[in-house]
Amino acid sequence: MPTNVTYEYIKAEEEYHNASTDRERMQALEKMLTAVPKHKGTEKLILQIKRKVTKLKKEMEAKEAKKGGGKGFNIRKEGAAQIVLVGQPNAGKSSLLQKITNADVEVGNYPFTTVDLIPGMLKTHDIQIQLVEVPGIIEGVSSGKGMGLQLMSSIRTSDALLIVLDGSNEPARQLRSILFELDRGGIKINRRRPDIEVQKHVTGGIEIVGKNHIEGSVKDVKEIFTDFRITSGRVVIREDVTLTEIQEALEESTAYKRAIVAVTKADMFGPSVIEELRREFPQFSFFPVCIYTEQGLDALNDEIYVVANIKRIFTKSPGEKPAYPPVALKKDATVLDVAKKVHKSIAKNFKYAKVWGTSVKFDAQRVGEDHVPNDGDTVEIHIK
């Protein structure tokens, strides 16, 4: 029995050992996480509980997959990126999706109108971005309540999130709850994966480079790797990290997602609401919107394009005008990636490219395959 734990923790641990179903075990583990005291002496215990949660979730997801994910939880990605609309029930997700995409959405003035994934296409900056509304985030969804496992899986596979808050009903409380459930579900918002490189070896034990960056002991780190069945390898840590961050980075199911926040019903609250949100959550961009007056929708559309982390590249053949529409690629895509997007045979026979735009010193500059064009640039590919 761990020392310095509360009676509530001991009771939750007993529930875990006596549980007869996965759902009961998950509920007990969540209670243990909530009840365990949060201090340096319990960090290892918390990490152990989180590993049990992750392992159990994988088992539950595998069982769900065998039974079938259920209607509506297999939306094929379309367009340049897929952004999911996430929020609590009755926050205005359906109305917002309908307004900016003209999607055929059932809009109801009551909670849980949406029970499936609802897609819509947003045309912005000359490209199409897929927006997908998911069912409301409720308490316990991260541990499988309701359609929680399927919902979390859909969020995890998206490119970014548009979090929707009801600005007339304690939006800060809503955002706290949403972020709590997402974090418990292994989805880290507006955080990047720690700069940790793991090179697995067959023998030789664990070698750690960058020990000075660890907020904990080397022994604790090796225990974490052992729990992940990594007994030999070279670990390079390039920045300050906690034991929790190391464990999260090793979890294959951990997802790091960008997100922006739309605050609906802007006609029902003043500027102070957004100011308070920005103070408490400085890592987010907030956009007050009103469906009926269309206030803030243009700014939101522009930011959806930004959070999608994509760029438009116009292509052209020698002696011709740029083709329309442009091709959409990830921000770090090279001109060789542009060639692959046009046709794999062009990429295979790539010789050089000419570029017009802000990524070059002068128009029609000749570049190699590793050149990274900027958003809105024009690329002319020459083959062998």
Instruction: Kindly indicate the confidence band of residue 71, based on its pLDDT and cuts at 50, 70 and 90.
Output: very low
In the prediction, which pLDDT does 281 show?
Answer: 97
82-86 vs 160-166, strand pairing mode: parallel
Domain assignment of residue 364, given as a range = 311-383
Task: Single out the residue in 307, 330, 345 at which a domain terminates.
Answer: 307
**SS3 (DSSP) at 127:** strand
CATH number of the domain within which 264 lies: 3.40.50.300
Task: Single out the residue in 67, 90, 112 at which a domain terminates.
Answer: 67
Q: For the chain, what's the residue count?
A: 384
In the prediction, which pLDDT does 65 show?
Answer: 66
Partners of 355 in the β-ladder: 365, 379
Same domain, 57 and 88: no
Same domain, 281 and 174: yes
In the prediction, which pLDDT does 61 show?
Answer: 75
CA–CA–CA angle 321, 326, 332 (5° rounding):
120
Diameter of the chain by CA atoms? 78
**174 domain-assigned:** yes
**2 domain-assigned:** no
Same domain, 271 and 171: yes
pLDDT (tens digit per residue) in 271-311: 999 999 999 999 999 999 999 999 999 999 999 999 999 99
Same domain, 88 and 149: yes
Q: Which amino acid makes up residue 53?
A: V
**73 domain-assigned:** no
Same domain, 39 and 164: no
**135 domain-assigned:** yes
In the prediction, which pLDDT does 142 show?
Answer: 79
For residue 345 the two structure tokens come to: 């045979």
**SS3 (DSSP) at 232:** coil
Percent of the chain whose pLDDT exceeds 70: 93
For the segment 27-33, the average pLDDT, to the nearest whole number, is 87
**294 domain-assigned:** yes
Report yes or no: 246 and 254 within 8 Å, Cβ to Cβ: no
Name the nearest CA neighbour of 74 among 187, 151, 178, 160: 151
Same domain, 277 and 369: no
Same domain, 122 and 187: yes
**373 domain-assigned:** yes
**74 domain-assigned:** no
CATH number of the domain within which 339 lies: 3.10.20.30
Evaluate if residue 105 carries a pLDDT over 80.
no
In the prediction, which pLDDT does 44 show?
Answer: 82
Same domain, 231 and 152: no
Cα 50 versus chain centre, distance: 19
Q: Which amino acid makes up residue 261?
A: V
Instruction: Kindly indicate the confidence band of residue 68, based on its pLDDT and cuts at 50, 70 and 90.
Output: low
* Beta carbons within 8 Å of 351's beta carbon, 6+ residues apart: 382, 383, 384
For residue 86 the two structure tokens come to: 């996430």
Sort 376 into a burial class: Cβ within 10 Å, 0-12 / 13-18 / 19+.
middle
For 164, the enclosing helix (H) or strand (E) is strand 160-166
**262 domain-assigned:** yes
pLDDT (tens digit per residue) in 43-53: 888 888 888 88
Half-sphere exposure of 115 (CA within 13 A, CB side): 6
Same domain, 47 and 183: no
Greatest mean pLDDT among 92-106, 115-129, 329-343? 329-343
Which carries the bigger pLDDT value, residue 67 or residue 199?
A: 199
Number of domains making up the chain: 4
Task: Single out the residue in 21, 42, 67 at which a domain terminates.
Answer: 67
Percent of the chain whose pLDDT exceeds 90: 55
CA 223 to CA 358: how far, in whole Å?
49
Instruction: Kindly indicate the confidence band of residue 189, based on its pLDDT and cuts at 50, 70 and 90.
Output: very high
In the prediction, which pLDDT does 67 show?
Answer: 66
Same domain, 185 and 303: yes
255-264 vs 160-166, strand pairing mode: parallel
For the segment 23-40, the average pLDDT, to the nearest whole number, is 84
CA 164 to CA 303: how far, in whole Å?
14
CA 273 to CA 295: how far, in whole Å?
16
CA 73 to CA 35: how far, in whole Å?
33
Cα dist from 113 to 78, 93, 107, 109, 145, whole Å: 24, 10, 7, 8, 17
- pTM, to two decimals: 0.84
Instruction: Kindly indicate the confidence band of residue 31, based on its pLDDT and cuts at 50, 70 and 90.
Output: confident
In the prediction, which pLDDT does 269 show?
Answer: 93
Task: Compute the mean pLDDT over every residue in the chain, rounded to the nearest whole number.
Answer: 89
Same domain, 107 and 162: yes
Evaluate if residue 110 carries a pLDDT over 70.
no
Which carries the bigger pLDDT value, residue 65 or residue 241?
A: 241
For residue 173 the two structure tokens come to: 């409380």
Same domain, 127 and 275: yes
